[in-house]
A and B are shown apart, each in its own frame.
Chain A
Amino acid sequence: MTGRMILVIVFAALLGLPSGRAAAAPPSSDPDWPCEQALVPSVSAEMVWSGPPLDGIGDWRSDPTAAPLVAAISPREVPLAEGLAAIGRFLRARPPNRTRAIKRAVAGLLEENATARTRVIEHIKMLAERQRTFAGLVSEMANEREKAGQGASAELTDRWTLTQRTYYEAQRTLRYACEIPAELDQRLGAYVRALQEGIR
């Protein structure tokens, strides 16, 4: 890859234009959002829940059955199948005031999802900010190398190679990170649908 091509890719990334799969996708209406997936800052109950309203249920943390369920199945490390099995056990155990317990579990899952989403979104934006700074550095080095032409030192060439490799690896990381909000939403949706079955 020539220095000119690298420059095109770096500037494209800086401008949020597509330049192949390695570069950042066009941003959504939030200029700091680097992902191809349009930013959805939060998930409300209305987006996933079609059961009775969740208001007037008190604090979900005080519920002796819903609170442990939420704590057990919310972490991303818990496999979805395991989480769904725990919901199955929760429903089969017929908790006292079943509908309220289910609604509290849904409220808790929504809250935990919101916390995790906010953290992930902030992390993605931070990664993107770092990449923008890094893209500037890559751009400067490309200029330096172009100017030096055939006389570019081995040290400059090595630094250049390492810098562009690091840049692309970070881009790949960013692309994976961009998938996480949807993964969180997928878990939330599956859990909420399973709980809703308990009300029908």
Chain B
Amino acid sequence: MPCCRRLPELSAALAALFWTAAAAGETVLVSNEKGNSITALDADSLAVIRTIRVGQRPRGILLSKDHKFLYICASDDNRIDVLDLDTYTLKPPLPSGPDPETFALHPDGNHLYVSNEDNSLVSIVDIAGRRIEGEIPVGVEPEGMAVSPDGKWTVNTSETTNMAHFVDNDSHQVVGNVLVDSRPRHAEWTSDGAQVWVSSEIGGTVSVIDAATRQVVHKIGFAVPGVPKQAIQAVGIALTKDRKRAFVALGPSNRVAVIDMETFEVVKYLLVGQRVWNLAFNHDESRLFTTNGVSNDISAIDVPNLRVLKSVTVGNQPWGVVVRP
């Protein structure tokens, strides 16, 4: 059957065509924790466009609501750098409180909720006013930050207290604490605001919390044949908007777990670069990008086909990743 011999080539060509269409015009932005830089890559070709020097120990990054600026937690400079993405120049930084590690942007586009790792606080930054509007005491070593889609709640995880703290964004008070497994790293709301998924690095699990009752309704464990349990450390989480697929970065196991969000079953493990840490979708969620902190690269995943397309070297110890549409 001569027609079928060419099927793999045809499939690869179609995949390449789809890749181009899906990621065209988008830019992948990566923070390099030890390189003190941001790497900008073309999301289509994965060619490096620019490397920009920023403040020391850049970790959490996110886009402004209009996608014109990149906010960067410059942890060792105790500030938030602001990168103009049209000119790739730094604008005057924002205050952050000490040792900002990660943050989340309120849907109003004007408030950043920043985790201050060294002093057990969440700082609320008024972007337009360029000031810290409030501080919320939370558990020891605050880390993961996520604001609910309706803007009413913020969830912060604290690494040492092993809790997800629910903060009322009107009163700026912690109104609930949910115990999760050891060293919670990342929190992610589902698109409908019904659940919060929290990863635990040492525990190697993901706790799915019902947002209304603030109860853990599912706990997802991971097991990769041949990989020691201690290497399976759950960190970054990405959830599709249609609530069908979850992706969890599993640290030094060098795997991304793919989870069916309806059954909470792991359907696949994808081998990516070393010490996979954070994840970001492109705009239409056809691609997922991972930062790999030990191999100093990022991996691109074809989401519909659940396969790793390629890995590309970036800076020293890539940490955060976002995709500018």
Residue ranges of A at the interface with B (Cβ–Cβ < 8 Å): 17-18, 20, 26, 28-29, 38-48, 50, 182, 185-186, 189-190, 193
Contacts and interface: CB of A to CB of B under 8 A. Distances in A.
Contacts of B226: 44-47
B228 A185 contact: no
A25 to B, nearest CB: 9
In the complex, the 9 A-B pairs of residues with the closest C-beta atoms, listed nearest first: A46-B226, A189-B274, A40-B252, A40-B231, A186-B294, A46-B227, A50-B271, A189-B295, A44-B226
A48 B254 contact: yes
B110 interface: no
A38 B202 contact: yes
Contacts of A18: 117-118, 140-141, 160
19 contacts: A26-B159, A28-B230, A29-B182, A29-B202, A40-B252, A41-B228, A42-B228, A43-B231, A43-B252, A44-B228, A44-B231, A46-B227, A47-B227, A47-B254, A182-B275, A185-B274, A186-B294, A186-B295, A189-B274
Contacts of B118: 18, 20
Interface residues of B, number: 29
A41 B230 contact: yes
Question: In the complex, which of the residues A39, A43, A47, A182 has the most CB atoms of chain B within 10 Å of its own CB atom?
Answer: A47
B251 interface: yes
Contact of B160 (A17, A38, A42, A48): A17
A53 B183 CA distance: 34
A22 to B, nearest CB: 12
Given A17-B160, A29-B182, A29-B202, A189 B294 contact: yes
Contacts of B225: 46
Contacts of A182: 275, 294
Contact of A38 (B117, B224, B251): B251
B80 to A, nearest CB: 20
B278 interface: no
Given A29-B182, A40-B231, A186-B294, 11 more contacts: A18-B160, A28-B230, A29-B202, A38-B183, A38-B201, A40-B228, A47-B227, A47-B231, A185-B294, A186-B296, A189-B274
B190 interface: no
B312 to A, nearest CB: 13
A17 to B, nearest CB: 7
B31 interface: no
A189 B202 CA distance: 22
B233 interface: yes
B244 to A, nearest CB: 26
Interface string B84-122: 000000000000000000000000000000000110000
Question: In the complex, which of the residues A40, A41, A44, A50 has the most CB atoms of chain B within 10 Å of its own CB atom?
Answer: A40
Interface string B117-144: 1100000000000000000000011000
A46 B224 contact: yes
A38 B230 contact: yes
B253 interface: yes
A114 B206 CA distance: 29
Contacts of B251: 38
B252 A28 contact: no
A40 B274 contact: no
